[in-house]
Amino acid sequence: MRFGFIDIHPIVKMIYFLLLLTFIMLTPHPLILLLYLIALSLYLIRLKGFLEFRKGLRFYLLLSLVLTLINPIFNQRGQTILFTLLNRYFTLEAVIYGLVMAMTFITIIILFQIFNETIDSHSFIYAIGRFGPKSAFLINMALRYIPLIQKRLKELFEIRSLTKSTKKLKQRIKLWGEIIGVIFTWSFEEAIITADSMESRGYGLKKRTSYLYFKWRAKDYLFLVLMFVLSFIISFYLIRGLISFEIYPKMTPLVVDRQNFLAYLAIALISSLPFFIDEKERLKWRNL
């Protein structure tokens, strides 16, 4: 879908992702993380389709299992002892701590996937270019080199595997060394021409401008306002400590009550904002 959230102004989108990232990292709270996780996963499924999402699912489950299990092995703090093994305590608190860690991790991964799907290189460079034009230029150049070098590596491997055996680890390491050497020589050789071509086209004569341009529209401002209002509510609760979650020494009870209900609502809303916008756009198209 090329409309909806994807069509929002790059700077607004960038702020949105930054805010969400901060909130996710600042609230290691199982219920809240679950809210983020559900809302963001739903949106990712909408973007990529369930089949694509399912491909990553196995990795997420494995990762959360490992993170949840590893923490109790090394961490013996906590009051609720589940069992003892080889003179070590295994506590419920440690398991939950591991679980929260895993959830934070996966939520952030999903957030980044959404970022990847909704911000293309132009929006990214435009948004960054506002604050650091030089780094934006550098990123743009790098964007070209990463796939280019990947392609060359593949070609080199194809040829080398013909003449050289790659069975033993030692041979493989040697082959890698060789190939990286060639890539370096090749790139430096090319860089001379690239530099010539850049100079010939006036690079470095003046402070660069950018031709990229994104219009600000009413819906961008609306998104911005909604986002800030919700963020304000969440920050208020965060600072007051009303949605904090302590594990050690004693676990905070997980309840939703009148005191913090609004915070939960705001979080649910802010993380499903992209979903709502897409939905609104979809309805508009159906009515045509």
- Site residues (vs other proteins, CB under 8 A): 121-122, 140-141, 143-144, 147-148, 151, 155-156, 158-159, 161-163, 178-179, 181-182, 185-186, 189-190, 193-194, 196-213
| Closest approach of other proteins to the CB of residue 217, in Å | 18
Residue nearer to other proteins on the CB measure, 61 or 195 = 195
| Closest approach of other proteins to the CB of residue 39, in Å | 31
| Closest approach of other proteins to the CB of residue 137, in Å | 9
Residue nearer to other proteins on the CB measure, 49 or 181 = 181
**Residue 66 identity:** V
Residue nearer to other proteins on the CB measure, 86 or 142 = 142
Residue nearer to other proteins on the CB measure, 121 or 252 = 121
Residue nearer to other proteins on the CB measure, 147 or 241 = 147
Strand (E) or helix (H) holding 32: helix 30-48
Return d(Cα 166, Cα 8) in angstroms, integer: 49
Is residue 99 within 8 A of residue 30, CB to CB? The reply is: yes
- State whether residue 70 is helix, strand or coil: helix
Q: In the structure encoding, which two tokens stand for residue 124, read together?
A: 């990214």
| Closest approach of other proteins to the CB of residue 156, in Å | 6
**Residue 222 identity:** L
| Closest approach of other proteins to the CB of residue 127, in Å | 15
Residue nearer to other proteins on the CB measure, 168 or 207 = 207
Is residue 105 within 8 A of residue 67, CB to CB? The reply is: yes
Q: Give the bridge partners for 90, in sequence order.
A: 83
> How many Å is the maximal CA-CA distance in the chain?
72
| Closest approach of other proteins to the CB of residue 55, in Å | 15
Residue 228, number of CB atoms within 10 A of its CB: 12
- Count Cβ atoms within 10 A of the Cβ of residue 46 and give its class: 0-12 exposed, 13-18 middle, 19 or more buried: buried
Chain centre to alpha carbon of residue 96 = 23
